[in-house]
Amino acid sequence: MSDKRDYYEVLGVSKDSDEKELKKAFRSLARKYHPDKNDAPDADEKFKEIQEAYAVLSDSEKRRNYDRFGHNSPGGSPFGPGGFQGFNINLDDILGGDFFSSFFGGGRRRSAQSQGNDILVRHEISLKSVLNGGKDEIELDLPVTCQDCEGTGAKDGVTSQCTDCDGAGQVRVRQQIGPFVQDSIRACQQCGGSGRKFTSKCKSCSGDGLRSESQVLRFDIPIGAQDGTRLRMRGKGQPAPYGKGISGDLFIELIIEEHPWFERNGMDLIMSLPLGYSDLALGATIKIPHIDDKDLTIKVPAGTNSGDTITIHSRGVPSSRGIGRGDVVVLCKLHMPKKFDKSVKKSLEEIREQLSGASDIIDRILDDAEERRN
Ligand SMILES: [Zn+2]
Ligand SMILES: [Zn+2]
């Protein structure tokens, strides 16, 4: 992991570059190193590196994380336990609509087209399951190839060659742009790029070639998963168009349920603990149930101030790399009841002088200011 190049270096941009500069740098590098265009043996690797750098830096949250932790983010790879698996955006969009067709004569575009779309689903899990890992499942209606027409969309699967494109699925379009004549390849509109046509639609799928099927997907919750961690299920996405090619992937994005009192900061869990004046002054031992099923014992030392924190080591979220665990950080606060009983009020009146300390108010203000500035 540590021999990875700095993402900013990969894209050749400065640390404070904005979205526009990033996009520009990415575009020009992607054009240069796209494996379809560059025959150098390392073009593939380079292209992947560029994509990964752009995927991180163009996402403000991932970028912030990267700026803070570099490649060794405490939550593991921003792309989940498997690391960067590829790009999930449409390169055509970012590189301009005709990028592939006008540069590569379309020959390879066809193979790019025969992959089904990826599907993204969000799934909520508890914070507890992030601590312990474990199995989970979701039931989903997923598109599958229609068996009755084998994905062609034609009645009984009977198709004939498209006459507009002679079965190629693509047509050559000549365009005059200013003084230039540009030939480009476009998907055939008549057959939608399938190269086949048919007169009657398959009844089972109304000609889509797809049907929806309820499926139960089982998966393991990775220990230490972050909010937004994506799990990839290869081939569980949309089937390739017309029943030919590879299915897309399904991504399960894990959304971690809000805990009633904990906030998560990387591997640490943060909570606030409202305590009475006496508890802060005299100290106290507080026991509360914890998400690891063992009670959390918080030892509040005598003389604790409102705003002081107590760290309980190794009771936070485990690292996704399997080594160590974060801490629980308890912020002590003074619990101020809205109302006091008469008797309590009376007692408080009696000890008011002692509680506020002997020194006069200006001395107290000065002492506090000095402490704060140290
Ligand atoms: Zn069908
Ligand atoms: Zn056609």
pLDDT, one tens digit per residue, over 147-159 is 999 888 898 888 8
Instruction: Measure the CA–CA gap between 317 and 326, rounded to whole angstroms.
Output: 5
Least confident of 27-31, 233-237, 267-271, 321-325: 27-31
What pLDDT does residue 36 have? 66
What pLDDT does residue 250 have? 94
Instruction: Measure the CA–CA gap between 345 and 159, rounded to whole angstroms.
Output: 90
Question: Hey, what are 25's tokens?
Answer: 């740098």
Closest ligand to C-alpha of residue 169 is: 2
pLDDT at residue 61 tops 50? yes
The alpha carbon of 113 and the centre of ligand 1 are apart by a number of angstroms equal to 20
What pLDDT does residue 112 have? 44
Among 10, 9, 15, smallest CA distance to 63 is for: 15
What pLDDT does residue 252 have? 94
Q: What is the mean pLDDT of the chain?
A: 84
The alpha carbon of 31 and the centre of ligand 2 are apart by a number of angstroms equal to 29
Q: What is the chain's alpha carbon radius of gyration, rounded to the nearest angstrom?
A: 31
What pLDDT does residue 5 have? 85
| Tens digit of each residue's pLDDT (9 = 90 or more) over 163-205 | 988 888 888 888 777 777 778 888 888 888 888 888 899 999 9
Question: Residue 79 corresponds to which amino acid?
Answer: F
- For residues 73-88, give the mean pLDDT: 54
Structural contact between residues 303 and 282, judged by C-beta atoms closer than 8 angstroms: no
What pLDDT does residue 67 have? 85
Instruction: Measure the CA–CA gap between 81 and 68, rounded to whole angstroms.
Output: 19
Residue 228's SS3 state is: coil
| Tens digit of each residue's pLDDT (9 = 90 or more) over 290-314 | 999 999 999 999 999 999 999 999 9
What pLDDT does residue 100 have? 39
| Tens digit of each residue's pLDDT (9 = 90 or more) over 84-94 | 544 444 454 44
Residue 302's SS3 state is: coil
Distance of CA 265 to the CA centre of its chain: 16
More confident residue, 8 or 65: 8
64 torsion bin: left (phi>0), alpha (psi -120 to 50), beta (else): alpha
What is the torsional sign of CA 40, 46, 48, 54? negative
Structural contact between residues 250 and 233, judged by C-beta atoms closer than 8 angstroms: yes
First CA to last CA distance, the chain: 40
The alpha carbon of 236 and the centre of ligand 1 are apart by a number of angstroms equal to 19
Instruction: Measure the CA–CA gap between 251 and 25, rounded to whole angstroms.
Output: 28
pLDDT band at 109 (very low <50, low <70, confident <90, very high): very low
- For residues 95-117, give the mean pLDDT: 47
The alpha carbon of 171 and the centre of ligand 1 are apart by a number of angstroms equal to 26
- For residues 212-229, give the mean pLDDT: 93
Structural contact between residues 257 and 248, judged by C-beta atoms closer than 8 angstroms: no
The alpha carbon of 305 and the centre of ligand 1 are apart by a number of angstroms equal to 71
DSSP-assigned beta bridge partners for residue 172: 185
Closest ligand to C-alpha of residue 164 is: 2
Structural contact between residues 34 and 51, judged by C-beta atoms closer than 8 angstroms: no
